[in-house]
Chain A
Amino acid sequence: MVTSTPDTTIDAGAEKRFFIEMLTKDIELLPAIVDLLDNSVDGARGLHPDGDLSGQWVKINFGNGSFTIADNSGGISAEIARHYAFRFGRSKSFTGVKRSVGQFGVGMKRAIFKIGNAFSVESAHRGATGKDDGSRFDLEVDVEDWAIQGDWTFQFNRVEENISLLPIEAAGTMISVTNLHPSVQDDLNDPTIVQALRTELRIRHQESIQSGLQLFLNSDKPLSASRPSLQASDVVRPVFKEFQVSGADGGVVDVKLYAGTVAPPKREKEIDPEDDGQAENFQDPGDAGWYLFCNDRLLLVADRTPITGWGNPAAAYHPQYRLFRGFVYLSADDASLLPWNTTKTAVDRDSPVFRAVQSEMKTTLVAVQAVINRAKQVRARVEDEDVKPDLLVALDETPDKPISSLATSSQMVTPAAPPPKPKAPPTPKIQRIQYAVDLDRFEEVAQAIGASSGSEVGRLTFDYFYDQEID
């Protein structure tokens, strides 16, 4: 007798089309491009554990139906390319760059799929010793063709291994995407979107730019980054706390938290104090809020939502807080300890690391708000002839200093608010009465009531009426 074993296997494989769609659905173009840049920055940081990125560059160019990002960040070795770099999701056995931004192993592929339907990658890697252990490769992929293949593989066009790169040859990677999606093509031709991209790159990677990385966007001139600054002097000390939070598996996240105020813009000092309450209501919040960096990549920009304490437990944002700035830097050797989501567009609120940091942000925000509130109260009660109180002089005149120059301070220190002057005792409310009467009748009344002056007659007759009719 023949016994047959029933087939117990169920096909749960993924359609590549579906996979590509799911992967790219939740990311927008700008974050996708920032994601590509993250890879280049990680490479550069890997080359310079000391953090000095001088000499490192990343060039982004687009137009004429293509998008290219090139860097000298060390390149991808053929071996890494073969086994890890193009896999979807990070393999457990891959030990990435310390203090990296990339973490999930989806950023580069997702970004490429988001931008277009065909791409090529060229990379040159010098190797650990630089002698006969370098590699070079290039590959080209047509996403449409790849989607109908069964295999989850790409093919090298050309690969050279165990070579030595010339000293002048830049070790790095160039990714070119062609056959752009029509919407992407339109976006990249839209000047406002290009401007938004420029701002996004400059802000998100401001720390790396500060550290010497040159970032070019369709230009020969590198982008500049603003240097986070707060008002600081002998009399004004912003909050600067340094502490560590333990993450899962014994890992440690280093935290630096800075918060305070920035100097008011020039024009604001001239606002008529009478008008202050009105005028400030129309002021743009601008850059006010919290900035949260994870491994120097900016995650929250000018955040004024409850996630950073606004409205809970601190007061909700109001224009009087427009000069508030807070900068929080989380860094960890293991990027998976950091509280970001996979698109690096939002924080992971459930992360215990973030909760601990969030709590510090909340109390710090309350403290800085309290300084601003006290100053506002002092401003409201200062009179023209008064000498301007030290607190207001300090907050109006103290210039900003880069936060890197600050000393630690658990509180925001400012000159004390002068005590309010006790109010004068309330003056009794009075109503004056004046009226004219016939002189003869006045004299009769004056005689009857025993009074001599007009004011006395007036008062006594009023009292008489009050006693008789009201009291």
Chain B
Amino acid sequence: MMIVDACRRLTAIAPLVKYQYVGFGGLEFIDFVEFHRGLGVPQMTSIERDTNMQHRLDFNKPYKSIRVLMGEARDQLPQVDWTQLSITWLDYTDVLTTDILRDVDFVVRSSQPGSIVIVTVNGATTKVPVPERLSNLRASLGSHVDDSLTEKDMAGWGPTKLERSVLQATAHAAGRQAHGLPFRQLFNFHYADDAKMLTWGGITTSSSLDRTIDSCRFEDLHFIRGDDDPFEINVPVLTEKEIAYLETELVGIPTPLPQIRGISSAEIKAFAQVYRWRVGSR
């Protein structure tokens, strides 16, 4: 979990136990376990929209103290105690909509400066032919879509890039209004499993905190992205033996990179970027 790794740097702002985690845990609560194990965040809240899952959720939650709020994010987010520092991950499976933007706006405004906000959305390309992508996005995002975009911009990751810019613009404005300074983007991950996905996020800041955030030195992490240029998580399919070999060779990232016959150097480079986080499954 690269994001957990980045969040460790929040110690420059406050002890990590002062942070709470807010997420959409689902039945598996994977992110909750990662954030608890990785950061020791004690207080956690999961929001679940499917009210039929209540009993299974209560059974499945890995830590008894996780507070589960049942209902739409929009109605449940205000119940979180936003006077505490927070790491909030709004992990949607849907394409970005104005409803999601409202949730993002609310969380960025409500979060204390020094809090992390992360959003995952579908990259808006699945099963949508290129000529329909722009009009679909205009229908769901309205005036947030830049007028100058054309269908040509909608090839490949185009719609996903548009989603990122709309998310950042919303957070920028909300951060400026609520905390006096715009939201600082840290994450812009592109990855594809079944569908193209975007995980975008960053940190809320204020004039009194901005220098402290500089001292977190997030940018030292190679996957931090403050702009439109994404970090692409692209995990080559490798065998156990290949992975074991590459891991033994990679530490210290030597140049030239180690080689395995039959595997392209681009794939090895991609693996080298992510191997520490075991992204993807073996």
Chain A positions within 8 Å of B, measured between CB atoms, are: 312-314, 355-356, 358-360, 362-363, 366-367, 370-371, 373-374, 377, 410-412, 417, 419-420, 422-423
Contacts and interface: CB of A to CB of B under 8 A. Distances in A.
13 contacts: A312-B102, A313-B101, A313-B102, A313-B105, A355-B176, A359-B109, A359-B177, A363-B178, A366-B106, A373-B72, A374-B71, A410-B83, A420-B51
A366 B177 CA distance: 16
A358 B110 contact: no
B105 to A, nearest CB: 4
A235 B270 CA distance: 56
Contact of A419 (B54, B72, B174, B178): B54
Nearest to A358: B177
Contacts of A371: 78
Interface in B65-122: 70-72, 74-79, 81-83, 101-102, 105-106, 109-110
Which among B77, B81, B83, B109 has the greatest number of chain A C-beta atoms within 10 A?
B109
A363 B110 contact: yes
B54 A313 contact: no
B180 interface: yes
Interface string B178-194: 10100000000000000
Contacts of B51: 419-420, 422
Nearest to B111: A363
Contacts of B78: 363, 366-367, 370-371, 411-412
Interface residues on B, range: 20 to 34
Contacts of A423: 52
B55 interface: yes
Contact of B75 (A313, A360, A374): A374
A312 B99 CA distance: 10
A422 B54 contact: yes
Contacts of A419: 51, 54, 70
Nearest to A239: B78
Those 5 A-B pairs whose CB atoms lie nearest each other, nearest first: A367-B78, A313-B105, A359-B178, A359-B177, A370-B78
A363 B109 contact: yes
A423 B105 CA distance: 33
Contacts of B79: 370, 411
Contact of A370 (B70, B75, B174, B176): B75
A356 B75 CA distance: 23
Given A363-B178, A371-B78, 11 more contacts: A312-B102, A359-B178, A366-B74, A366-B77, A367-B78, A370-B77, A374-B75, A411-B81, A419-B70, A420-B70, A422-B51
Contacts of A366: 74, 77-78, 102, 106
Interface string B34-77: 00000000000000000110110000000000000011101111
A356 B55 CA distance: 42
B177 A373 contact: no
Contacts of B105: 312-313, 362
A360 B72 CA distance: 22
A371 B75 CA distance: 7
A377 B71 contact: yes
Contacts of A312: 102, 105
A419 B68 CA distance: 11
Contacts of B82: 363, 410
A467 to B, nearest CB: 35
Nearest to A368: B78
Contacts of B75: 370, 373-374, 377
A356 B66 CA distance: 33
Contacts of B76: 370
A366 B71 CA distance: 15
Contacts of A422: 51-52, 54-55
Contacts of B55: 422
A307 to B, nearest CB: 12
Contacts of B81: 411
Interface in B229-268: none
A313 B108 CA distance: 11
A359 B79 CA distance: 18
A312 B170 CA distance: 11
Contacts of A373: 72, 74-75
Nearest to A377: B71
Contacts of A360: 178
B53 to A, nearest CB: 8
Contacts of B177: 355-356, 358-359, 362
Contacts of A417: 71
Nearest to A357: B177
A374 B79 CA distance: 11
Interface string B154-181: 0000000000000000000010111010
A309 to B, nearest CB: 10
A371 B106 CA distance: 15
A359 B174 contact: yes
Nearest to A352: B180
Contacts of A313: 101-102, 105-106, 109, 174
A411 B81 CA distance: 8
Contacts of A377: 71, 75
A169 B106 CA distance: 57
